[in-house]
Amino acid sequence: MENKITSSLFCFLILSMSSCSVSKTIKLETPFVTVVKLIDAEQSMHLDDAMQYIDVEQVYSKLGSKNPKEDWIKMIKFHYDLGKGEKNSNTFGYGNYDIEETIKGNNAQVCFKAKDKKANIKMITYGLEKRQKGWIVISINYTK
């Protein structure tokens, strides 16, 4: 009898230990992840990659652009070149912001709220829409 209990306990421990060591990998495709991928692709001038995460026509038309794609490329190039200087950096300082993600059905917002109360831009809000391939940025608003 004692052998059966010991054997059962041993099996239970082995199963428990093996289930604890099983790891799961989840592919994150949240609105926040989309914004991070967009920012990264723009900062490294990988515009083909960036196009997967932004509807340039919709975003820049809302900002009043008559030539959205051309204006987007000019803006990205300007920031890229600006970041090469000694005083400036073209890397986004995520640590300087409180970040909020709000999802409502097929729409979402990712807000970066400046921690520094004296910052020129107090908040950057990315509006996103769920499409077949995932989340796409459809608006960008800057609050001073």
The pLDDT of 52-79, averaged and rounded, is: 90
Single pTM value for the model: 0.77
The pLDDT of 104-127, averaged and rounded, is: 94
Of the listed ranges 29-33, 54-58, 93-97, 126-130, the least confidently predicted one is 93-97
Q: Give all strands (DSSP E) within 1-144, no chain letters.
A: 97-104, 107-114, 123-131, 134-143
pLDDT category at 79 given cuts 50, 70, 90 is confident
